[in-house]
Structure 1
Amino acid sequence: MKTWLHSWRAAVRIARRDAWRAKGRSSLVLAMIALPILGVSAADLTIRSSELSVSEQLERSIGTADAVFRDPDFGGVPILQSPDGDNVYPADVKDGAAWPSGSTDLTKVIPAGARWITDTQGAAKLTTVHGLLQTDVREMKADDPIARGITTLVDGHYPRKADEVIATSAFLEQSGLSIGSTVSARNFDRPYRIVGSYELPDSLKSAQITALPGAFLAPYGKAVEKAGSLAPGTSVSYLVQHAGGFTWNSVKEINTKGVTVVSRTVRLDPPADSEVPLYQRDDWGDFESSAGADALLLATLATVVGLAMLEICLLAGPAFAVGARRSRRQLGLVGANGGSRSHIRAIVLSGGLVIGVAAAVVGTVLAVVLTLVLQPFLEEFMGQRFGSFDVRPLELLGIALLAVLTGLLAAIVPAVTASRQTVLASLTGRRGVRSTSKVLPVLGLVALLVGAAIALYGSVVTDQFIIVAGGSALAELGVVAMTPAIVGLFGRAGRWLPLSPRLALRDAVRNRGRTAPAVAAVLAAVAGTVAVATYTSSSDAQYRAEYSASLPHGAVSFFQMEDGGRDVPAVADAVQRYLSVDTRADVSRVAVGKPGCPAWGGDAGCGLYEVMVPPANVCPMWVPTTDGSDPSEKFTPEQRRTLLREDWRCKQGDGGGSVYVDGGLLVGDARLLKVLGITDPAAEQALADGRAVAFSKPLLAKDGTVGIKQITDTKAADEASADNKPAPGKVSSIPAHLVTGDQKTYGLQLLMTPATAKAAGLTTVPLGAYFNTDSLPGTEQRQKLDAELAKIGAGVDLTIEEGYVSDDSIFLLALTVFAGLVTIGAAGIATGLAQADAEADLKTLAAVGAPPRVRRTLSGFQCGVVAAMGVVLGSLAGLLPAMGLRLTEERQQLRFHEQTIAEGWGGDLTPPYVPIVVPWETLAALLVAVPLGAALLAALVTRSKGAVARRAAT
């Protein structure tokens, strides 16, 4: 034991001295190992610090209160709740029965002697420098001790008067306002002065203002009548402090009165599931179980860590091998003085141990410092403040041990190789005859074939992505195992190359132990990039083909569905003023009931209309049944396919579009046809003659008319719908012209002029407008238009058809840059090792009269050769998994498409388009630009003249 300990201590001392002498090579390997450790440790610190404890969560949600009381709107009936209050269920509701509704007076439930404040939350459109901004509005006495921790005051002071508010920093930034500015809500006559800024620690990017209770919103979610109406959805919570807090038994007792309670005591010490009545219901399921998701996450993390360690070992291994060869005389002396092979292995392994420990220390320390320095930026990026800075020593120690393990793994092969050399060969510097393994390439070929077969089976026979991914990974490992043999095949191309590239290629082939790992590392990085790029490009091509334009390219439209379209003229004028409009087509909609009714009706005094489809034109699969059953169930799957493909009554329209009114009915003129690109002189003539224009054949009756039913009694209509009967209403028949041919109508089904609608007894209100533009608006035009629309204050949906815009271009560029950096880094490492390993050859070249630039040229070609070989092999290996995944997706989508047709759901009858697109631009950048850039970079950073060396002692 003592001898073993002393030998290892001596080995570590020798390794530490060698590492200090070869600072350049040691720093290179240390950086390779420390960078992943730095990243993983920083990620661990960030995640752990951002994960809040239960007490920290409670401080940010309920302040210092002992509990928060909420009304679940079940009318005060007894309820069952989960301990965290996220799930609430009426206690006595049977399966299928309607849930109760109604409000509860929370003040009658709060225990006597308790102290409480209200927390009322709603929303409003607030005036800003630019116009209007949809903002969360809160009413709470924010400076009360109970609310401490919910908000953090940044500047100014909390509200003291009813006309004072504080605003979040995000609101001030978005609105252009500042402390001292005034703000008001739309339709409010009363202004409020901003007296302070604050932040929500859990939501730094939220735009919110806070006022005193009763100053902006009324209790129980009703708007203050004298101030004007606000958006619905206002809610009230009661933050309660009570001596002794609220135990789980207290919570269950309060639940019997129909009130939800989130208790600090219960959250800190939750009851067992057996004590929670909600969990004992037969219809309750544990939907929060995430064991499968956690297992998948752990498997993903293990795969990423394993690949990262493999990548580092592939790159660091040759560095240790070169170091061992540079120290072969020293190792020979150890053997000549009685050292065994185990001592030689211990010395080389100690090199990996020393570098691994140093990398672990450097990476961990830098991670802590970097996380502390970047904490404010990380918090802003994530949108929430950290809790406490959470350093978990065991986790950091485990991550650091990965660095040590990686260093040892990278040094294993060089240690075994060095221990096998004879003492004579080590002392004389002779390398002997080196031959590559003949078994490894065979195993690699077998793995390649088996992996490709598995991936093919997974993509053609089954629908399991995991099989495709597993087969592709096995095939890629096979290519990695074949790399030394493949490098040898590349060497045969040297006979046709000039001197410098021929020397570089010969050196790479002769030193496969150094070249093959670097090529394999480049291969792995490029293969992953090509696989993701191919899959992304293919998906992007599919999305482009499936994209359904809502308007012709460059066209603009907007709608105002509420307020009777009062702002439509002003908005249309603004669009025409700020955009380069060629044609403007104003449109209206049919309105039933009092003025100002929304398009969807439903309000008191507001009715609906229905575009009639004659019974003879209804698809047999969609005819309502008297018992309410699915009518398509009367047909077999084959009959459904036949109906959808051959019966004109069952065929769908062109799909897509931007017409959101009932039946696709618009009231306008022939200018709308021009904007939509519909060329039909007969349609224009029909509009001029007072007829409607129909774009859907089922709408047209046998007599050539279309029917519009006006439904004034919506209650009776609902009752008729429940009984599968037609809704009562007045039907207006309008002569119509049917547009035939392949015309894309962008959702428009029926068009008539205002005069035709008036003659048919239909009331219309402005809806919006369509525009043709000479060119797409630029950023400045959009900003000016948005500011004008904000001043108008209209709630409109503005649509500008820009065509399909891919979101993957930046992603593909980032992938290419990443692969390029990894490739250049790996090739640069291999080149640096080659220069250190081939210093004698370079001196020989200089001795025989080679010009100084040969060193620079040779270095560039050495780097370029490694990069080129890795990129070529990686590009080929990366295509396999992407193609397999796309074939699997094609099978899944085809099966779903057939199922959709068989079940009579309708839709597009065209089979799904699932292409496989090779990203030639990415491949070209990798195959040409990356090796060329690596070669030029290596040539530029290499000195033309080497240092004069002393003659080696003999």
Structure 2
Amino acid sequence: MSGTPERGTPESGGPRDTGNAEPRGTGPRDPESTEPRATGWAAGLSSWRAAIRIARRDAWRSKGRSAMVLAMIALPIVGVSAADITIRSSQLSPQEQITRDMGAADARLSDGFTGGKPLYQDPKANTSLSVAYANTDPDAPPSDTADTDTDSSKPIDARAGMPAGARWLSDTQVYAQFKTKYGLLQDPVRELKADDPIARGITRLDRGHYPAADDEVIATNAFLKSSGLHVGSKLTVRDLDRTYRIVGAYDLPSELKTEQVIARPGAFIAPYRAARKAANASVQDDYTTYLVSVPGDFTWKMVQQSNAKGVTVKSRAVQLHNPADSDVPLYRTRQGKYAGNYGGSSSGRAEAVTVAATIVGLAMLEICLLAGPAFAVGARRSRRQLGLVGANGGDRRHIRAIVLSGGLVIGVAAAVSGTLLGLLLTWLLRSPLENYVGKRFGGLTLRPAELLGIAALAVLTGLLAAVVPAITASRQSVLSSLTGRRGVRHANRVLPVIGLGAVCLGVGIAVFGSMRTDSTLAVGGGSGIAELGIVALAPTLVGLFGRAGKWLPLTPRLALRDAVRNRGRTAPAVAAVLAAVAGSVAVATYAASSDQGDRDAYQARLPRSVLTVMTSYDNVRDLPAVRAAIEKHYPVSGRADVSTMIVGDVKCQLTYGDGKGCGDVEAMRPPANVCPNDRPEGTEGLSLAQRRALADDWRCRRVDAMDAMPTSSGILIGGPAVLHALGIRDGAAEQALAHGETVLFDKAYLDHGALRLKVILDTSKTVPEGQEPVGPVRTVPVHMAAENRTQSFGVLAVMPKEAAETVKAAGVRTVPLGSFYTNSRMPDSRQRQALDSDLAKIGTDADVYLERGYTADNNLILLALTIFAGLVTIGAAGIATGLAQADAEPDLKTLAAIGAAPRVRRTLSGFQCGVIAVMGVVLGSAAGILPAVGLRHTERRHEWRYYHQMLDSGWANQSQVPHIPIVVPWGTLLALIIAVPLGATLLAALVTRSRSQLARRAEP
């Protein structure tokens, strides 16, 4: 080795050491040459053309590094371009949207629900049921209020609004219960002649054919998937003794996830209504619209003529060409002035643009930080070539041009490949994307300007990633480039000052935004500025980490020293890890805090592991079979059957009666126990202090609990077993129930030892404002329980059967409601699946609820964030480790030459990777907590402001006091700080070769 002449000496034949002098622009020139020298822009163009050729050749030679950087830049471009094409393709033109709604018809006519009274319609609304106001006099000026006549909602035939000579097609829908492979499925049935030319475009037949007979139907693919049926299956409807055959499968192009069945007009609804009536069961009213075809267009004047008869119209011509606002009567009303404004607020759009720009900017920063060290690797490996450029007359701008051209070449390749792959990916995944979006595309829509902008981001990202390596390479002397000597780099003293200032400014903005304003944008912007400041401080912070080397063993100390001495490649990798980890920690902290808030606010419907089964009056017949299935599969330790009180005939809903002949039972508060803001005069006349005092008034406390088994009165009829199921252990209350006394849980309803119940015989009658419904009142003696209504899970009172008999005299009757079940342990997944299977076989819509307690749903989010941060950390640390190995190759060969064990190479590489990962993860974890805490403080301010508004109005209570906890996800942080660096260390050690080929001297 000692006999080998050094480079740069006359003996070696290399260039002489001329000091650190830099060539000034041109090399030696042949004095006899008569070729004119290029000047100006021509010289610049020629030098850039040569630089691009050199960069393209280097990229082709270093295929692995080039592919890595290209993939790093191209992957986001693939995603963004695919998202752009998907979004634009899913946005239908007005003509396409109208065709999917009304087919080839000129208009769709609907009942305006004004009982035939004239109405005003908004032509800019997106549906036929547009914003409209009734008016009792068609010649009167536009009214701001609707007609309150009780007959105004009486259905009318929308055909009354059809012009003369129109051809129409009815479109009627009703819900029915189908017997499927798995049980019972309630879905809409539509009577429509789907193969008529007027309806062409509403449906898209996938397979089979349209119904040709009254016993044939077609079903959507979503219905077939949910029901387990297929084309050719027989379709059975509950309570209907006739069956239908599915002869085709179709899709609604804009509603792919809709479950629906289509039958021929008159083939289903009439016999279904008759069968339900014979079974003494209720049926939902059908809703009919009409598809209308007229000669020419359905004009705005024709629409107004239909409106005068109480019919709303969605017209193709009006939707495509809106009339002038002066021709729309609705816009002349006070409320109608705002009817045509369907756009979002400018502030909301500005915030969305700002957020999108921030995300794009951070993504570009992340890519630049990751790709920058890779370009530095290329520049370092090409330093001899760059030195030769300088030795032959090239100056610093030529060196910078060559390195920047590498970024340009990779950026252009990433832009082209990313955009083409995005288009190809969208085309290949068109069907899954349509299913995900929920509607068919009108076609693949390409916006060239948007795609060029996305591609330009890739080029810009490649150039930005090469900026720092270009500057670094241009500052190296020709001698150090040719000999491979590293030289001495002085630390930048300006960058740490800028970074520290940015950190202080960003933290100040974030703190001010969270403490003094409600702007989440200020918190996010301040946090972003602070994070950029930490990125600028990365070289200085890396130097501070170096002081910990004296406590480390030899190999990690060497790795740390190498990282500190070569901050140009270490700092970008640490900054990239920092940015990724900071974002992950911010989201994880916010998610964990939100999860804790949801956990604290969770309202259990029942004690844990208690089950309820509740059924409607139509399905009481299924209750014995459901109870048997529960007792068969669950570890039942107790059962309590309950009933409820109803007023009216069998058509009335069990809990909330509606319509003529339906009544209700209402618990009455004594006048002295009524909260002042519940009285007719409300809080008028009360001072601010009195309104605020209502928050602590026991009479104004709202019941903040989920109802264990909701009823209109809040009263359940049962025995002491009901108390056991609710988790209430009160011996006095159990004895009171056993002796026929009602147990009351809310003292606001206690009236001299009794509970007063008002029986409302007809809830459909209009009650003048400020008056109470009229009805007989019954009084039952009560026992006041020790527990309050919240602790009884929303149950107001438990009434024994003996007490319910006294209320029956007022026209009230009791019907079974369901059962409570206590379990000896929490049923497992297999038991729940077995029960669900039996319930499906029974074919009932009974409500079976098992209280499992609060279940966190963010564990998957935290895991995904940890994996993402880990991948970025390992990738960034791996890039920096590759650069370190390129720099340290002579040292490693020297170690091998003097007899160092092969594992030293692996160990050193592993610790080099681990050191970078540790520094980035620690700094990123500290930086990521700031935005999450700031956002939570902003939410807390918003909630407290709202609470004070409610307090001042007299509507606040203690249960509404804001609770916005801040929780640090220590599990996620520990996984990032310990597991991720350890994994990066082991992975780097495993992929590093143990041995290297020895040579007499290091290769240039």
Which amino acid in structure 1 is aligned with residue 686 of structure 2? F
Following superposition, the deviation at residue 276 of structure 1 comes to 4.2
Q: Structure 1 residues 418, 726: closer, same or farther in 2, change over 3 A?
A: closer
1:48 corresponds, among 60, 65, 88, to: 88
Following superposition, the deviation at residue 620 of structure 1 comes to 4.0
Following superposition, the deviation at residue 470 of structure 1 comes to 2.1
Structure 2 residue matching 1:501: 3-state secondary structure: helix
1:805-954 aligned at under 5 Å gives the runs 805-909=855-959, 911-948=961-998, 951=1001
Following superposition, the deviation at residue 78 of structure 1 comes to 4.8
Report the number of matched residues.
Answer: 943
Q: Structure 1 residues 209, 230: closer, same or farther in 2, change over 3 A?
A: farther
Residue 690 of structure 2 aligns with which residue?
639
Q: Structure 1 residues 57, 618: closer, same or farther in 2, change over 3 A?
A: closer
Residue 120 of structure 2 aligns with which residue?
79
Residue 423 of structure 2 aligns with which residue?
368
Q: Structure 1 residues 490, 564: closer, same or farther in 2, change over 3 A?
A: closer
d(CA) in 2 for partners of 1:708, 1:282:
43
Residue 166 of structure 1 aligns with which residue?
218
Which amino acid in structure 1 is aligned with residue 829 of structure 2? T
Q: Where does structure 2 lack aligned partners over 5 or more consecutive residues?
A: 1-40, 136-141
Q: Residue 435 in 1 paired to residue 490 in 2?
A: yes
d(CA) in 2 for partners of 1:878, 1:480:
13
Residue 765 of structure 1 aligns with which residue?
815
2:572 corresponds, among 517, 526, 540, to: 517
Q: Residue 23 in 1 paired to residue 63 in 2?
A: yes
Which amino acid in structure 1 is aligned with residue 815 of structure 2? V
Following superposition, the deviation at residue 652 of structure 1 comes to 4.3
1:656-688 CA distances to partner (integer Å, 9 max, x unpaired)?
332322332111000111111111111111112
d(CA) in 2 for partners of 1:78, 1:639:
45
d(CA) in 2 for partners of 1:520, 1:745:
55
1:775 corresponds, among 785, 802, 825, to: 825
Residue 612 of structure 1 aligns with which residue?
668
d(CA) in 2 for partners of 1:105, 1:765:
38
Residue 744 of structure 2 aligns with which residue?
694
1:506-565 CA distances to partner (integer Å, 9 max, x unpaired)?
111111111101111110111111111111111111111111111000001132343494
User: Which deviates more from structure 2 when the two are superposed, residues 725-734 or residues 353-362?
Assistant: 725-734
Residue 310 of structure 1 aligns with which residue?
365
Following superposition, the deviation at residue 212 of structure 1 comes to 0.6
Following superposition, the deviation at residue 767 of structure 1 comes to 1.2
Residue 582 of structure 2 aligns with which residue?
527
Aligned partners of 2:109 and 2:311 also within 8 Å = yes
Residue 74 of structure 2 aligns with which residue?
34
Q: Residue 345 in 1 paired to residue 408 in 2?
A: no
d(CA) in 1 for partners of 2:134, 2:960:
50
d(CA) in 2 for partners of 1:517, 1:490:
15
Following superposition, the deviation at residue 446 of structure 1 comes to 1.9
d(CA) in 2 for partners of 1:261, 1:953:
83
Following superposition, the deviation at residue 951 of structure 1 comes to 3.8
Following superposition, the deviation at residue 829 of structure 1 comes to 1.5
d(CA) in 1 for partners of 2:182, 2:315:
42
Which amino acid in structure 1 is aligned with residue 375 of structure 2? F
Q: Residue 213 in 1 paired to residue 265 in 2?
A: yes
Structure 2 residue matching 1:68: 3-state secondary structure: strand
Which amino acid in structure 2 is aligned with residue 635 of structure 1? L
User: Which deviates more from structure 2 when the two are superposed, residues 515-524 or residues 16-25?
Assistant: 16-25
Residue 22 of structure 2 aligns with which residue?
none
Residue 770 of structure 2 aligns with which residue?
724
Residue 782 of structure 2 aligns with which residue?
736
Aligned partners of 2:716 and 2:798 also within 8 Å = yes
Q: Residue 234 in 1 paired to residue 286 in 2?
A: yes
d(CA) in 1 for partners of 2:159, 2:959:
59
d(CA) in 2 for partners of 1:816, 1:830:
21
Residue 288 of structure 1 aligns with which residue?
342
Aligned partners of 1:665 and 1:748 also within 8 Å = yes
Residue 750 of structure 1 aligns with which residue?
797
d(CA) in 1 for partners of 2:1003, 2:705:
85
Q: Residue 668 in 1 paired to residue 718 in 2?
A: yes
d(CA) in 2 for partners of 1:883, 1:506:
35
Residue 411 of structure 2 aligns with which residue?
356
d(CA) in 1 for partners of 2:318, 2:808:
64
Q: Where does structure 1 lack aligned partners over 5 or more consecutive residues?
A: none
1:190 corresponds, among 214, 222, 242, to: 242
Aligned partners of 1:124 and 1:135 also within 8 Å = yes
d(CA) in 1 for partners of 2:487, 2:959:
70
Which amino acid in structure 2 is aligned with residue 805 of structure 1? T
Residue 229 of structure 2 aligns with which residue?
177
d(CA) in 2 for partners of 1:651, 1:254:
50
Structure 2 residue matching 1:167: 3-state secondary structure: strand
Q: Structure 1 residues 947, 211: closer, same or farther in 2, change over 3 A?
A: farther
Q: Residue 411 in 1 paired to residue 463 in 2?
A: no
Which amino acid in structure 1 is aligned with residue 793 of structure 2? Y
Structure 2 residue matching 1:877: 3-state secondary structure: helix
Structure 2 residue matching 1:195: 3-state secondary structure: strand
d(CA) in 2 for partners of 1:62, 1:860:
66
Following superposition, the deviation at residue 603 of structure 1 comes to 4.0
Structure 1 residue matching 2:794: 3-state secondary structure: coil
Structure 2 residue matching 1:177: 3-state secondary structure: coil
Q: Residue 322 in 1 paired to residue 377 in 2?
A: yes
Residue 589 of structure 1 aligns with which residue?
644
Structure 2 residue matching 1:586: 3-state secondary structure: strand
Q: Structure 1 residues 741, 386: closer, same or farther in 2, change over 3 A?
A: closer
Structure 1 residue matching 2:877: 3-state secondary structure: helix
User: Which deviates more from structure 2 when the two are superposed, residues 146-155 or residues 501-510?
Assistant: 146-155
| TM-score (normalizing by structure 1) | 0.94
Q: Structure 1 residues 226, 535: closer, same or farther in 2, change over 3 A?
A: closer
Aligned partners of 1:357 and 1:403 also within 8 Å = yes
Aligned partners of 1:564 and 1:596 also within 8 Å = no
Superposition RMSD in Å: 2.6
Q: Structure 1 residues 573, 531: closer, same or farther in 2, change over 3 A?
A: same
d(CA) in 1 for partners of 2:198, 2:687:
65
Following superposition, the deviation at residue 866 of structure 1 comes to 0.9
Q: Structure 1 residues 312, 339: closer, same or farther in 2, change over 3 A?
A: same
Which amino acid in structure 1 is aligned with residue 422 of structure 2? A
| TM-score (normalizing by structure 2) | 0.89
Following superposition, the deviation at residue 120 of structure 1 comes to 1.9
1:468-547 aligned at under 5 Å gives the runs 468-547=523-602
Following superposition, the deviation at residue 321 of structure 1 comes to 2.2
Structure 1 residue matching 2:237: 3-state secondary structure: coil
Which amino acid in structure 2 is aligned with residue 615 of structure 1? P
User: Which deviates more from structure 2 when the two are superposed, residues 233-242 or residues 443-452?
Assistant: 233-242
d(CA) in 2 for partners of 1:583, 1:82:
60
Which amino acid in structure 1 is aligned with residue 726 of structure 2? L
Aligned partners of 2:79 and 2:422 also within 8 Å = yes
1:600 corresponds, among 639, 656, 664, to: 656
Following superposition, the deviation at residue 487 of structure 1 comes to 0.2
Following superposition, the deviation at residue 912 of structure 1 comes to 2.8
Residue 245 of structure 1 aligns with which residue?
297
Following superposition, the deviation at residue 801 of structure 1 comes to 0.6
User: Which deviates more from structure 2 when the two are superposed, residues 781-790 or residues 545-554?
Assistant: 781-790
Q: Structure 1 residues 143, 601: closer, same or farther in 2, change over 3 A?
A: closer
Following superposition, the deviation at residue 195 of structure 1 comes to 1.2
Following superposition, the deviation at residue 715 of structure 1 comes to 6.2
Following superposition, the deviation at residue 372 of structure 1 comes to 1.6
Structure 1 residue matching 2:497: 3-state secondary structure: helix
Which amino acid in structure 2 is aligned with residue 417 of structure 1? T
Residue 401 of structure 1 aligns with which residue?
456
d(CA) in 2 for partners of 1:66, 1:694:
61
